[in-house]
Amino acid sequence: MSGLGFMLVLGASGGVGALCRWGLDVTWLKLEKRHPAGGIALVNVVACLLGGVLIAAVVGGNLEANSRLYTLVATGFLGGFSTFSTFVLDIFSVTERGNWHRAWGALLLVWALSLLAAAAGLALGSFWF
């Protein structure tokens, strides 16, 4: 595949990730009205889990970190799927309503869950690979 062809596939991979992020967020909003930022928080935790699995595949020798597949999954799909900036904007919107405790609690909870998800993904991937 040519350089331009790969760039197009990489962009499409990011687009698929973004569509999955949007779908998960919309589904969350339909199910949970009280915590609208939870969908994007969940997306980022799931992205960390998947990233851990991906790193385990590299460490296990089943995937090269400089391969096109790794780039498609890590940079493309996971790059389009996860969104720290949207999560931060969601946290700021909570603080603008005067809910500082809730904002800090959500921020710390998501960071902790993201680290745990990455570790779980690494463990799960290590088992698989």
Alpha carbon of residue 96 to chain centroid: 25
pLDDT (tens place) for every residue of the chain, 129 residues total: 789 999 999 999 999 999 999 999 999 999 987 877 889 999 999 999 999 999 999 999 999 999 999 999 999 999 999 998 888 888 888 888 888 998 999 999 999 999 999 999 999 999 998
CA–CA gap between residue 100 and residue 92 (Å, rounded): 9
Q: If we measure between CA atoms, which residue out of 105, 97, 118 comes closest to residue 48?
A: 118
Predicted structure pTM score: 0.90
Q: Are 17 and 79 in contact (CB under 8 A)?
A: yes
DSSP for residue 77: I
CA–CA gap between residue 40 and residue 46 (Å, rounded): 10
Residue extents of the structural domains in the chain: 3-128
